Amino acid sequence: MFTRFIKFVGTLLLISSMPLSANIINVIDFTGDNEGVAEQYVFTENGVTLTISAWTTNVNSNQEVLSPWQLLSGQYGVYKGDSGLGVRSNDQDGSYLDGGQSNDLTDLDEGLLFSFSEEVNILGFYADYLSAGDDLNFSLVEFLTPTSIETTDIFIDQHASLMFDEEGVYFAPDYLIGSAFMIWADGNDDAVRIVDTAFVKAPEPNTMLLFSLTFLGLAFRRKV
C-alpha cells in the first residue's frame, strides 16, 4: 500500500530528486488474495527479490534467547491472507504474527524473515491489527548457516504506542542497510499482520559520500 509510506516521500524529497536510480522508493504490498500457508513467499520489485520465511524463537523480557531461531517448514510457515502476512507455527496457532510466554515451549515467539537479493536501505513497514500494548521487534539478521541465524541490533521492543505512528507505520532508523531483517513478536498478547514494507536500493559508497556532502552543505547554509 503505497499510501502507507507517502510520508517517506516528503522526508526523502531531496534525495529522491537526485538523478540516481538507487533512490527510488519501492513498496511491496503483501495484501490481496488469501493464499494460505507456505514455507516461503517471494516478491520482486524493481529488480530486487524479497524472500519471506517464518521462524520461531523463545526470548524472555530481558531479551535473553532461551531457544535459538528455528526455520518453519512443511505444513507450517508464512501465512499470506488478504490483510497481510502472519505465521502459523503449530496446530493450535492462529494465522497472525504473535509471541508467546517464555516459560511455555509449546507457544513460541514468531518472526518473519525478510531476505533481500541485494543490500537495501529498508525504510520501514506497516503493521495492521496493532494495539497500544503490542510489543514488536525489528532486527538485523546474520546468517550463520542457511538454516541458522542470529539477530542483532534490536530496534524495537517497546509498546506500539511509543514506536509506531498513529496509522501503524514503523520508520526504520536512517540508513539502515542490510540484506536480511527480522520482524518478530515476543509478547503473549501480540497478534498482528504485516501489510507492506518500503525500501530503496543501497547506494554505492560514492553516492553515500554525495549524500553526506549535500547534507553538510545544507547545514552550513542554515548556520550562515
Domain of residue 118 covers 2-223
3-state secondary structure of 9: helix
Domain count across the chain: 1
Mean pLDDT score, 65-69:
87
E-only strand ranges, 74-168? 77-81, 84-88, 97-98, 109-128, 135-145, 148-152, 158-159
pLDDT of residue 159: 57
pTM: 0.80
DSSP letter (8 states) at residue 5: G
How many CB atoms are located within 10 Å of the residue 9 CB? 11
Least confident piece of the model among 23-27, 36-40, 180-184, 207-211: 207-211
Q: Where are the alpha helices (DSSP H) in 86-164?
A: 160-163
Q: What does the alpha-carbon distance between residue 101 and residue 173 come to, in Å, rounded to a whole number?
A: 28
* Tens of pLDDT, residues 173-195: 878 899 999 999 887 777 899 99
Q: What does the alpha-carbon distance between residue 134 and residue 98 come to, in Å, rounded to a whole number?
A: 9
pLDDT of residue 205: 57
Q: pLDDT: is 6 or 55 the higher one?
A: 55
Q: pLDDT: is 47 or 134 the higher one?
A: 47
CB–CB of 114/50 below 8 Å?
A: yes
C-alpha cell at 81: 491472507
DSSP letter (8 states) at residue 142: E
